């Protein structure tokens, strides 16, 4: 079952450039009570780093923001072509 389908905004730091806002699409599915699938994809309005280059920090942000249990999450990145 689809639980979340939204544009997710987060701030990241560029080397020597300070923070800037980045967008990505987040979809969260819960096909089973003990399983969560998170799919993150680059936004068509890509304004910062690709999800593939920021995945570890992004995973932590999303797990915390949506109060997910990280041991139950399957993480899928869908970078732009």
Domain map of the chain by residue range? 2-78
| pLDDT value, residue 39 | 96
pTM: 0.82
Contacting residues for 35 by C-beta, under 8 A, at least 6 apart: 72, 74
| Token pair listed for 19 | 């923070």
Return d(Cα 71, Cα 9) in angstroms, integer. Answer: 24
Return d(Cα 75, Cα 77) in angstroms, integer. Answer: 7
Please, which residues bridge with residue 23 across strands?
9
pLDDT in tens, 8-51: 988 765 555 556 778 889 999 999 989 999 999 987 776 667 78
Provide the residue count of the chain.
Answer: 81
pLDDT in tens, 68-79: 999 999 999 987
Return d(Cα 14, Cα 27) in angstroms, integer. Answer: 26
């Amino acid at each position: 079952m689809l639980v979340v389908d939204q544009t997710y905004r987060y701030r990241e730091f560029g080397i020597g450039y300070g923070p800037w806002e980045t967008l990505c699409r987040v979809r969260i599915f819960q096909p089973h009570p003990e399983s969560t699938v998170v799919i993150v994809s680059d936004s068509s309005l890509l304004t910062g780093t690709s999800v593939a280059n920021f995945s570890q920090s992004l995973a932590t942000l999303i797990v915390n923001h949506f109060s997910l249990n990280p041991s139950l999450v399957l993480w899928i990145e869908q970078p732009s072509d």
